[in-house]
């Protein structure tokens, strides 16, 4: 019985800490109205792509990353390669503009 309580308490702590560590923010294109930008958003800490899509100017998309760092690479329509963006902070629902 005691072991189950300890295991339950440990799992609860890990679940709460896991949610507290995750960063949330949004991404928005800064281009002229009606223009598109292709973005590839990386979670810097895990190395995974968390969003890859075309974004129309003015629209906002939500992001969730494992910690608080994100890198947004972008290119314009017709572009061949993505330009690497700076590492930004993704925390407390802030807005990252591309």
Domains and CATH numbers, the chain: 22-97 (2.60.40)
Higher pLDDT, 9 or 57: 57
- pLDDT value of position 22: 85
Whole-model pTM: value is 0.73
The token pair at 62 is 């939500």
The structure tokens listed for 68 are 């608080």
Residue 43: count of CB within 10 angstroms of its CB? 22
Q: Which of 92, 73, 69 is nearest to 82 (CA)?
A: 73
pLDDT one-digit tens code per residue, 2-51 = 545 444 454 554 444 444 568 899 999 999 999 999 999 999 999 999 99
């Amino acid at each position: 019985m005691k072991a189950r309580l300890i295991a339950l308490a440990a799992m609860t702590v890990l679940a709460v800490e896991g949610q507290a560590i995750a960063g949330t923010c949004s991404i928005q294109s800064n281009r002229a109205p009606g223009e598109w930008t292709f973005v590839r958003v990386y979670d810097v800490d895990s190395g995974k792509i968390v969003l890859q899509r075309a974004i129309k100017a003015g629209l906002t998309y939500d992001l969730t990353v494992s910690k608080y760092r994100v890198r947004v690479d972008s290119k314009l329509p017709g572009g061949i390669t993505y330009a690497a963006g700076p590492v930004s902070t993704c925390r407390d629902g802030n807005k990252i503009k591309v």
